[in-house]
Structure 1
Amino acid sequence: MSSTLQQQPKAETLKTLPEKHGLYDPAFEKDSCGVGFVAHIKGEPSHQIVVDAEIMLQRMEHRGGCGCEPTTGDGAGILTGMPHDFCVKVAKKDLGVDLPEAGLFSAGNVFLPTDDVQRKTCITEVEKIIIEQGQKCLGWREVPVDTEGANIGPTARQSQPVILQLYIAAVSEKDKDFERQLYVIRKRCTHLLRYDKSLSQRKMFYICSLSPRIIIYKGMLNALQVKTFYLDLQDADYSSHIAMVHSRFSTNTFPSWDRAQPNRYMSHNGEINTLLGNRNWMAARQGMVECDDYECEINQLFPIAENDCSDSGNFDNVLEFLLMSGRSLQEAVMLMVPEAWQSDENMDQAKKDFYRFNSAMMEPWDGPASIAFTDGHYIGAVLDRNGLRPSRYYLTNDDRVIMASEVGVVDVDPADVKFKGRLQPGKMFLIDFDKGELISDEELKKDFSTRRPYGEWLKNQEIKLSELNCAMNEQSESHGFNPETIIPRMQAFGYTTETMQFMLLPLVRELRDPVGSMGNDSALACLSDKPRMIYDYFKQLFAQVTNPAIDSIREEVVMSLECYIGPEGNLLETTEQHAHRLRVPHPILTNEELAALKHLDHRGWKTKTIDITYDKSEGVAGLTKRLDEICSEASDAIKQCFSLVVLTDRNISAERVPVSTLLATGAVHHHLVKNQERTRIGIVLETGEAREVHQHCLL
């Protein structure tokens, strides 16, 4: 081990991210960065590809962040194809082993604790799991690094892990089977060691990659330090057909060695605004996931989305899970980052059907994003549906492709440029190394949209509100306006004169959310000594995004409020039954639509209504008791094969106190997520409490 590493001071607080404390939560970690790649379209490896990518990374130094120390970066790294000749050479020299043919071994860089005892524990457990998965551990190679030569800053140096290169040989599997075993090994090791509270340096354990086709060198570095720090990258025998680089700017968060990018299959410039919901839904889907391709219990892979990852890291986790479970890389990306399709009148119907079917399976991972992705067979990039992050690319006459978040990162003679362009909003471009060609977005999506009869499946299985005879329910159930009790009910729900004057009247008369020019000088709910509605405590959550403003024209073209509700199928399968969900064109329902849903008995679907009021005589204790009962009733509805539950406070009276709809909805939602039941039932709300746009958005 290098003497520099062994002399590091024991600064445990610098080795991991802080725990959740006060207003800080590691779950809020987000990235905004520079990303790009260089590749040879025909799949021919060379050291020049790596050199060009290093130049690209250095020229994106301005995209990366650093703290008060200019020599401690937020993170930077490079992903390359497996350099077979280089690995054969160093494995023989450093480990004394002869590697098998390409594809039958994996090499991956692993971050390990600096404490000798804890590092030995990690290595022992990893080797044990490798044997349990039927593979062969060939050894651990020390990755040569030059901490002094790279001028690594004090903070990065004090948190620097020991870096070893793990070699694993396949016993019999090839291609996907071996990859899947490596995936299981990595997930089992991660869950066992990173959450072992007996290890004080548990968060220093991190497997950068474990694949027979790609390998990653990264760390808490800046863009100029990567090549100098990792001596392997300077070896002329280190050749690759691809090289993806990333310079991290951690948005209002803490940098760390493990959160540097590239991730295992992608690099990301931007921000996933829907992260919290995406993670919760992935946790909920774990109860429905089945896949026969894994030779272990699939729950050993859970959680798929890990709590201590950034938004980019969690995106990568889900992408990897879909890839290892049978989907192709490009199909998985299309599922997670769809283009804007609902309002596109010029889009082919087959493609619309493809996207509509996918929307019934998974919600989009939405936000400003430029994402580069690769599995070694393909490399490509996709832009978010708004096009809020830039991506430009060049194809050259010598069969190179260069893509980056800006131009000028690699010197290219204009005479050598065969084609150049920029990635359009929601569009994808892909290099297929086996075919040796660039596949256009149109060709790619036409291929996937015509593989299955998505339109026919939707026609046969989709349930629409218009089918439910909503007009019939107008006669059978009153609206419940009841003018004689309207004032007491409004008072019970906390309506004020200001609510009527400044919020409701503009909404009703002018069909707009009221906007003021003088700002809001009232105290934040969490700092106020006045009683506030629970909705007010979530207003700051809507301000923590880095999106540019969306104009009304773009909003009309790109945004959609349409959604599917009701039981979902197995995410890892694609069958006609996955389309058997209720399509709701707008989240705000009319009284007639709500009545139709409450009395639903259609194509095997039925609804259970749950009263969310409680007896006033029970006092404050009645609230907690009723919340527990509501959650229990929702779980019982699933066991009784109901497809929907309606949470209603219609039963409010002088003797019945309503539970806040936001509180009841959140309690039920998270109760079902925790028990992995959320995807088995849809939740519909009937409430007199919500009146502002913000409140409806929260619900």
Structure 2
Amino acid sequence: MPQAQGLYNPSHEHDACGVGIVADIQGRRTRSILERALSCVCQLAHRGALDADAKSGDGAGVLTQIPTKLFRREVEKLGHQLYGEGDLGIGFFFLPAQDKYAQAHIRRIAEEVVVRRGLVSLGWRVVPVNPRILGEKAALSAPRIEQLLVARPDSKKLSDDAFEMVLFLARNEIEHRCAADRTPPFYIPSFSSRVIVYKGMLTGTQLKSFYLDLQDPAYETALAVFHQRYSTNTFPTWPLAHPFRMVAHNGEINTLRGNRHWVHAREADLSHPGLDPADLPLLHPIIQPGGSDSSSLDNAFELLSISGRGPLHAMLMLVPSAYRSEESLSPEVRAFYEYHECMNEPWDGPAALAFSDGRIVAACLDRNGLRPARYKITKEGLFLMGSEVGIGDIPEKSVIEKGRLAPGEMIAVDTINKKLLRNSDIKSFAASEKPYAQWVKEGLQTLPLIPAQLPTVPADLTSTLLSFGYSDEELKVILLPMIQKSEEATGSMGDDAALAVFSRRARLFYQYFRQLFAQVTNPPIDP
């Protein structure tokens, strides 16, 4: 990704994309779930973009459960044997393609870290790919793609959640040690015992052709998150393709700078009863530098989810509904949001989010509902959600329910308990886990109102307004509604005023300056 220059800054990276999920409500792992997800991402091609070479895409990918049948076979090829379904962890590595020394160095550090943390290193696997389908730009920046297979030595001593936490810490330690050694940049799309991410600087139609694993009949999953990226005034890269380690996102985070700063500010207070204090520095920085808005959200979400809150609770914290104006919410749910509002600032902006921890897969909308999320449920127990209505090629006769997410709503499939979780159920359960209403009542401190002195109106107000460039239109259209209704005025989009340099009226100094590029072009509302 280019360095900051002129008006461009990597911190302004936003995306406008197509996203969706496919899941079997009964938790049955089948090949058909993956096939439908791959079909859906192809049908979202119009939401992605192509380079001038007509082959290099902005990015496409899929997140699924680890396909046990496929990797049991691969483990046996390495001379090992798996006993339990959840005993395998897979680290997916994008290594520097041309630097053999760096590749060997990263492999050595990764093996040292997993062994030091009590895991068994089963060996490395070169991911089978077909590079001939790549466009010129995608091929030039393509990494060497390998997987590190690891196992827990004794499933009785390390629970599933503890195994996942060890893999999370191992990934962070690998990244920290390599950064300290000034190792050339590399990326780990996933390192988990539950999920695996196949993605790249591809189009949706190239995804299955590039990754040969996705063509393997043994690849079975009960859930899938799919994504087609359109990078809005950003630079497509392999690491910034979606899904990230847990989240895929259509939209943008408009509060990103504040969110990143507040997460960084709280790092010094980070603690966890199940973590060795010596491991806490490995989690810093929580938000990895150089990422997009979506990757930053994924960093925060992953930490909250894996540290014990779970994916649904974590997303309710990060992307809350407009609970103050939702009359249908119970007092308990309001207290849940009010409590967490004191701990975490909302990641706000137009957003349709799909996310999964490998057990639960879910989708939600931001509180303004500015991105589409439409779903179907079939009588066979299939759940499909996406950015478009017609994806998935589901016969209408098999559909028993169809709908869309409203602003601030969430829907989920729990593949372990074999349940479809509705918005009200998700929020009610989260609110009932702790006595949030009591905590808010006992712990919330509010500042007393400070009496304000009415400002004096200068006698020469008109000349002052003229000096500062106020017009009659601004007084009537912008300021008057704010005074009368205590809210910002609402108007239609578009600016048909003449450029300041061509205007016959006096304009403010800063109005003579315009950005050289459209920093954000995706529309506020995605119909």
Cα distance in 1 between the residues matched to 2:37 and 2:223:
9
Unaligned runs of 5+ in 1: 1-16, 524-529, 551-699
Structure 2 equivalent of residue 224 of structure 1? 205
TM-score, length-scaled by structure 2: 0.88
Equivalent pair of 2:59/2:199 in contact (CA under 8 Å): yes
Cα distance in 2 between the residues matched to 1:87 and 1:509:
66
Structure 1 equivalent of residue 64 of structure 2? 80
Partner of residue 420 from structure 1, selected from 402, 413, 419? 402
- 1:57, distance to aligned residue in structure 2 (A): 1.4
- 1:132, distance to aligned residue in structure 2 (A): 2.9
Partner of residue 172 from structure 2, selected from 187, 201, 212? 187
Equivalent pair of 1:214/1:376 in contact (CA under 8 Å): yes
2:176 partner amino acid: H
Structure 1 equivalent of residue 522 of structure 2? 546
- 1:509, distance to aligned residue in structure 2 (A): 6.1
1:233 partner amino acid: L
Structure 2 equivalent of residue 315 of structure 1? 297
Is 1:174 aligned to residue 156 of structure 2? no
1:24 partner amino acid: Y
- 1:275, distance to aligned residue in structure 2 (A): 1.0
Cα distance in 2 between the residues matched to 1:54 and 1:482:
65
Structure 1 equivalent of residue 82 of structure 2? 99
CA deviation string 1:403-437 (max 9, x = no partner): 11112221222221122211111100111112211
Cα distance in 1 between the residues matched to 2:431 and 2:518:
35
CA deviation string 1:468-518 (max 9, x = no partner): 3645xx7xxx779698xx99xxx9xx9873357769966776646899976
- 1:464, distance to aligned residue in structure 2 (A): 3.1
Is 1:340 aligned to residue 309 of structure 2? no
- 1:358, distance to aligned residue in structure 2 (A): 1.5
- 1:340, distance to aligned residue in structure 2 (A): 1.3
Is 1:239 aligned to residue 217 of structure 2? no
CA deviation string 1:596-654 (max 9, x = no partner): xxxxxxxxxxxxxxxxxxxxxxxxxxxxxxxxxxxxxxxxxxxxxxxxxxxxxxxxxxx
Cα distance in 1 between the residues matched to 2:33 and 2:56:
26
Query: Which structure 2 residues correspond to residues 103-118 of structure 1 after superposition, within 5 A?
Result: 103-114=86-97, 115-118=99-102
- 1:532, distance to aligned residue in structure 2 (A): 6.4
In the superposition, relative to structure 1, how do residues 128 and 502 fare at CA in structure 2: closer, same or farther (>3 Å)?
Answer: farther
Structure 1 equivalent of residue 126 of structure 2? 142
In the superposition, relative to structure 1, how do residues 105 and 345 fare at CA in structure 2: closer, same or farther (>3 Å)?
Answer: same
Structure 2 equivalent of residue 434 of structure 1? 416
Structure 2 equivalent of residue 329 of structure 1? 311
In the superposition, relative to structure 1, how do residues 47 and 345 fare at CA in structure 2: closer, same or farther (>3 Å)?
Answer: closer
Alignment partner of 1:363: what SS? coil
Structure 2 equivalent of residue 674 of structure 1? none
Equivalent pair of 1:372/1:382 in contact (CA under 8 Å): yes
CA deviation string 1:188-234 (max 9, x = no partner): 222333x45844xx23x111111111111111111111111111111
TM-score, length-scaled by structure 1: 0.67
Cα distance in 2 between the residues matched to 1:495 and 1:460:
48
- 1:346, distance to aligned residue in structure 2 (A): 3.2
Cα distance in 1 between the residues matched to 2:71 and 2:328:
50
2:62 partner amino acid: I
Cα distance in 1 between the residues matched to 2:275 and 2:379:
43
Equivalent pair of 2:233/2:518 in contact (CA under 8 Å): no
CA deviation string 1:425-473 (max 9, x = no partner): 11001111122110111111111222323223222232334xx3645xx
Structure 1 equivalent of residue 497 of structure 2? 519
- 1:344, distance to aligned residue in structure 2 (A): 2.2
CA deviation string 1:355-387 (max 9, x = no partner): 111211111111111111111111110011111
Partner of residue 266 from structure 2, selected from 265, 285, 300? 285
Cα distance in 1 between the residues matched to 2:299 and 2:449:
43
In the superposition, relative to structure 1, how do residues 362 and 122 fare at CA in structure 2: closer, same or farther (>3 Å)?
Answer: same
Query: Which structure 2 residues correspond to residues 342-357 of structure 1 after superposition, within 5 A?
Result: 342-357=324-339
Alignment partner of 2:272: what SS? coil
In the superposition, relative to structure 1, how do residues 84 and 469 fare at CA in structure 2: closer, same or farther (>3 Å)?
Answer: closer
Cα distance in 2 between the residues matched to 1:433 and 1:41:
6
2:360 partner amino acid: Y
In the superposition, relative to structure 1, how do residues 106 and 342 fare at CA in structure 2: closer, same or farther (>3 Å)?
Answer: same
Is 1:268 aligned to residue 273 of structure 2? no
Cα distance in 1 between the residues matched to 2:360 and 2:525:
34
In the superposition, relative to structure 1, how do residues 367 and 536 fare at CA in structure 2: closer, same or farther (>3 Å)?
Answer: farther
Alignment partner of 1:208: what SS? strand
Cα distance in 2 between the residues matched to 1:352 and 1:541:
42
Cα distance in 2 between the residues matched to 1:48 and 1:344:
39
Query: Which structure 2 residues correspond to residues 195-594 of structure 1 after superposition, within 5 A?
Result: 195=179, 198-199=182-183, 202-203=184-185, 205-295=186-276, 296-465=278-447, 468=448, 470=450, 497-499=467-469, 511=482, 519=497, 521-522=499-500, 544=520, 546-548=522-524
- 1:312, distance to aligned residue in structure 2 (A): 0.9
In the superposition, relative to structure 1, how do residues 33 and 454 fare at CA in structure 2: closer, same or farther (>3 Å)?
Answer: same
CA deviation string 1:67-108 (max 9, x = no partner): 112110011111111111110102222x22223422122013
2:33 partner amino acid: I
In the superposition, relative to structure 1, how do residues 455 and 159 fare at CA in structure 2: closer, same or farther (>3 Å)?
Answer: same
Cα distance in 2 between the residues matched to 1:239 and 1:436:
17
- Which has more radius of gyration? 1
- 1:112, distance to aligned residue in structure 2 (A): 0.4
In the superposition, relative to structure 1, how do residues 511 and 145 fare at CA in structure 2: closer, same or farther (>3 Å)?
Answer: closer
In the superposition, relative to structure 1, how do residues 343 and 109 fare at CA in structure 2: closer, same or farther (>3 Å)?
Answer: same
Equivalent pair of 1:380/1:430 in contact (CA under 8 Å): yes
1:96 partner amino acid: G
Alignment partner of 1:290: what SS? coil
1:102 partner amino acid: E
Cα distance in 2 between the residues matched to 1:207 and 1:511:
49
Equivalent pair of 1:386/1:426 in contact (CA under 8 Å): yes
Cα distance in 2 between the residues matched to 1:227 and 1:500:
57
Cα distance in 1 between the residues matched to 2:418 and 2:265:
40
Query: Which structure 2 residues correspond to residues 681-696 of structure 1 after superposition, within 5 A?
Result: none
Equivalent pair of 2:16/2:522 in contact (CA under 8 Å): no
Equivalent pair of 1:105/1:167 in contact (CA under 8 Å): yes
Alignment partner of 1:326: what SS? helix
Cα distance in 1 between the residues matched to 2:518 and 2:51:
26
CA deviation string 1:21-41 (max 9, x = no partner): 222222112111111121111
Partner of residue 36 from structure 1, selected from 3, 10, 20? 20
Cα distance in 2 between the residues matched to 1:537 and 1:457:
50
- 1:321, distance to aligned residue in structure 2 (A): 0.4
CA deviation string 1:220-278 (max 9, x = no partner): 11111111111111111111111221111111100011111111111111111111111
Is 1:48 aligned to residue 20 of structure 2? no
Structure 2 equivalent of residue 576 of structure 1? none
CA deviation string 1:552-603 (max 9, x = no partner): xxxxxxxxxxxxxxxxxxxxxxxxxxxxxxxxxxxxxxxxxxxxxxxxxxxx
Bigger relative CO (Cα 8 Å, ≥ 6 apart): 2
In the superposition, relative to structure 1, how do residues 101 and 70 fare at CA in structure 2: closer, same or farther (>3 Å)?
Answer: same
Cα distance in 2 between the residues matched to 1:308 and 1:216:
20
Cα distance in 2 between the residues matched to 1:509 and 1:261:
44
Alignment partner of 1:351: what SS? helix
Is 1:58 aligned to residue 42 of structure 2? yes
CA deviation string 1:646-698 (max 9, x = no partner): xxxxxxxxxxxxxxxxxxxxxxxxxxxxxxxxxxxxxxxxxxxxxxxxxxxxx
Equivalent pair of 1:107/1:168 in contact (CA under 8 Å): yes
2:26 partner amino acid: K
Structure 2 equivalent of residue 575 of structure 1? none
